[in-house]
A = this chain, B = another copy of it.
């Protein structure tokens, strides 16, 4: 389908989605967050045509989200492993997970859950001001033109409790 490209958009949301590509790409990220994956692991998990999957993985390597590495256990074949940039999508996957948990399962229906390896549940992600106030959609403004600088990311802080 013909559409605008968002690769040069000023909106980071649009650029992110343009970079990720097809919606099922995030399922590749989900799988690889659990560790390096074979091509065949992805085929099995997603049930995709091999040529479609292959093209998408190539683009994700070009985008610096995946890299190809030999298996750590010395077995044959390359593995797809997330880069640091790719691992940064963990929070996107978690946000999708929590929304799905809240909205897409009937009472009593079985779902997989993520838990802290040290035991216990995972904190709910919420949009907050730096002082911890929850921010609803109407509590935020969009400002159109900021220059990207390394300083900005530090300013917003890591957001730990």
Question: Total interface residues on A, using CB and 8 Å?
Answer: 104
A47 CB to closest chain B CB, in angstroms? 4
Chain B residue numbers with a CB within 8 Å of A17 are: 23-24, 26-27, 96
A11-26 contacts to B (CB < 8 Å): 11-17, 19-26
Copies of this chain, tallied across the complex: 2
Given contacts A111-B10, A148-B105, A150-B107, contact A4 B47 (CB under 8 A): yes
Given contacts A121-B130, A153-B102, contact A12 B139 (CB under 8 A): no
Once the chains bind, are A15 and B159 in contact (CB under 8 Å)? no
Given contacts A85-B103, A114-B140, A130-B123, contact A3 B159 (CB under 8 A): no
A70 at interface by CB-CB < 8 Å:
no
Once the chains bind, are B104 and A15 in contact (CB under 8 Å)? yes
A158 at interface by CB-CB < 8 Å:
yes
Question: Complex: how many Å from CA A43 to CA B13?
Answer: 18
Question: Complex: how many Å from CA A102 to CA B90?
Answer: 14
Once the chains bind, are B122 and A140 in contact (CB under 8 Å)? yes
A141 at interface by CB-CB < 8 Å:
yes
**A–B pairs, 17, beta carbons within 8 Å:** A3-B24, A13-B97, A17-B24, A90-B136, A91-B95, A91-B125, A107-B149, A108-B149, A109-B147, A110-B147, A116-B130, A117-B139, A118-B129, A122-B156, A123-B129, A124-B156, A125-B127
